[in-house]
Amino acid sequence: MHNVPPAASPVRIDPGAAAASLGSATGGPLASGAAFAVYRLGRSSFHAAVVRRVEGDVVVIAERTEPIGGAEFDGLLLAYLSGRHPDAGVRLWSRIADPAEAADRQLRARLLEKITRAREELSERDFTVITLPEADIKMPLTREEFESRVGELVESTADVMEETLAEAGVHPAELAGLLMAGGAARTPLAATTLRRRFGVEPVLAAPNAKVLLAEAAPVATRELPFVDEQEAPPRRRGQGRAVVLTAALLVVVGAGAAFGSQLGDGDSAGDDVAADESTAAAATSETLADASAEPSETASEEASATPSESPTPDETELGPEDPVEDEAPSESDPTTESAPIGSVPNVVGMSTAEAHRAVEEAGFAGVEQTGEQRGVFDWSHEDCEIIDQSPEPGSTRALSESVSVTFSYSGEASDCDV
């Protein structure tokens, strides 16, 4: 008999937290009767809401959600890079497109992590380079290239925002503000698009500001970058994006196979067989990544994480995970309310600063970090890179617990303090 996973806990915009974030960003409280918009673009879902102050309270008067987020951005970039750099080897891209072995899944997960980091860097700069030492490849990427890949998705989020405003009966000119939250919302193209579409100057919430509130008790976090999902949520627009993305990558691989003798087989030997890949990171399709991200999230903000193939959790606000049911109390024990729990994010490979942010956004108490010094000529890891963690990624723990990490450094351990 198959176990049917429980329904996901709905995740909503927290009007009070959103109003506080807007007030902090603008330097003033929301006037009575005023309304503002919330544009939250997380790792695997997008929330649009209109919030109004009514008689001393703030309430959501319209809200919509779409399964669009940073993970889908990363999937589009993966397909783009495979076509841009065929010289990396037909066999390499075949392994990444259809990872059959544990080493292939680990390689693909590692590349997606690098792509996520590059995307975040392009929020601050115009150019970056994606390196994958395991395959001995380097792929330059510009902000212009990135924005050309994700422009359609960003426009889709603006469409949803427009629909939400119409549902609320609020004209953009009436807005007291437009608050942007979530890691992917820091993509400069998002602010540019909102400014052009609505004539409003958007403001960014503080990096760690939380504007989501689950209607039920906290369960396993819902926005993990690489999590296998049993079902994909219905989506009103852009249903063909994942199919097109998959086709794009497979066409590149197929074309490379046809001309393999010219392209070469730039595969690297001896990939590390570490943790199994999981994925909402590509948010593409089962064929491309054999993983996809769900839109639901808990009250925690996003982060990056990598659970194992069987649905074990990872990072904050992060990808889709099957909610965890509380065990039914026995007749002999009194019924008590379960402590809030969450899915431990996968922070291995992140910097210490990124790890702190991911753990905090996942809702856990904090990070306890320990340094491990390496030789000056040991380039196996970057300075401040997380090389180990406890509890294991994907395990379910009380949110009151801390996550212990070990980071690598070659100079001073204090350089990695957060």
Of 158, 192, 214, which closes a domain?
A: 214
pLDDT band at 249 (very low <50, low <70, confident <90, very high): low
Q: What does the block give as tokens for 16?
A: 């009070």
On the question of pLDDT at 327 being above 70, the answer is no
Measure the CA–CA gap between 80 and 208, rounded to whole angstroms: 31
Do the domain assignments include residue 258? Answer: no
Place of tokens 């080897």: 89
% of the chain with per-residue pLDDT over 70: 65
Q: Is 168 found in the same domain as 20?
A: yes
Do the domain assignments include residue 299? Answer: no
SS3 138: strand
Measure the CA–CA gap between 168 and 35, rounded to whole angstroms: 10
The pLDDT of residue 214 = 65
Measure the CA–CA gap between 136 and 270, rounded to whole angstroms: 12
Question: pLDDT per residue over 361-390, tens digit each?
Answer: 888 889 999 998 877 556 677 888 899 999
Q: Is 42 found in the same domain as 180?
A: yes
Q: What does the block give as tokens for 49?
A: 């809401």
Measured at the alpha carbon of residue 179, what is the angle toward residues 25 and 123, in degrees to the nearest 5?
A: 85
Q: Which residues constitute the domain of residue 61?
A: 11-67+147-214
Do the domain assignments include residue 355? Answer: yes
The average pLDDT across 27-46 equals 91
The pLDDT of residue 338 = 58
Which has the higher per-residue pLDDT, 411 or 157? 157
pLDDT band at 37 (very low <50, low <70, confident <90, very high): very high
The pLDDT of residue 252 = 44
Place of tokens 């212009």: 144
Measure the CA–CA gap between 53 and 62, rounded to whole angstroms: 13
Do the domain assignments include residue 219? Answer: no
Q: Is 348 found in the same domain as 207?
A: no
The average pLDDT across 39-49 equals 94
* Helix and strand numbers, DSSP H then E, in the chain: 10, 14
The average pLDDT across 327-351 equals 68
Measure the CA–CA gap between 366 and 265, rounded to whole angstroms: 44
pTM for this predicted structure = 0.53
On the question of pLDDT at 251 being above 60, the answer is no
Top mean-pLDDT range of 67-76, 231-240, 280-289: 67-76
Question: pLDDT per residue over 262-297, tens digit each?
Answer: 333 333 333 333 333 333 333 333 433 343 334 334
pLDDT band at 232 (very low <50, low <70, confident <90, very high): very low
pLDDT band at 218 (very low <50, low <70, confident <90, very high): very low
Do the domain assignments include residue 221? Answer: no
Mean pLDDT check: name the lowest of 31-40, 246-255, 259-268, 407-416: 259-268
Question: pLDDT per residue over 154-210, tens digit each?
Answer: 999 999 999 999 999 999 999 999 999 999 999 999 999 999 999 999 999 988 888
Contact 313, 366 (CB under 8 A): no
Do the domain assignments include residue 224? Answer: no
On the question of pLDDT at 142 being above 80, the answer is yes
Measure the CA–CA gap between 109 and 228, rounded to whole angstroms: 13
Across the strands, what pairs with 384? Answer: none
User: If residue 407 lies in a helix (H) or strand (E), which one and from where to where?
Assistant: strand 402-409
* Overall number of domains in the chain: 2
Q: Per DSSP, which regions of 94-215 are E strands? A: 127-132, 137-142, 178-181, 203-204, 212-214
CATH of the domain at 351: 3.30.10.20
Question: pLDDT per residue over 294-316, tens digit each?
Answer: 433 433 344 333 444 444 434 33
CATH of the domain at 42: 3.30.420.40
Do the domain assignments include residue 321? Answer: no
Q: What is the mean pLDDT of the chain?
A: 74
Of 171, 199, 214, which closes a domain?
A: 214
Contact 19, 51 (CB under 8 A): yes
SS3 33: coil
DSSP state of 226: B
Do the domain assignments include residue 368? Answer: yes
Mean pLDDT check: name the lowest of 114-123, 147-156, 233-242: 233-242
What does the longest C-alpha to C-alpha distance in the chain come to? 72
Of 177, 194, 214, which closes a domain?
A: 214
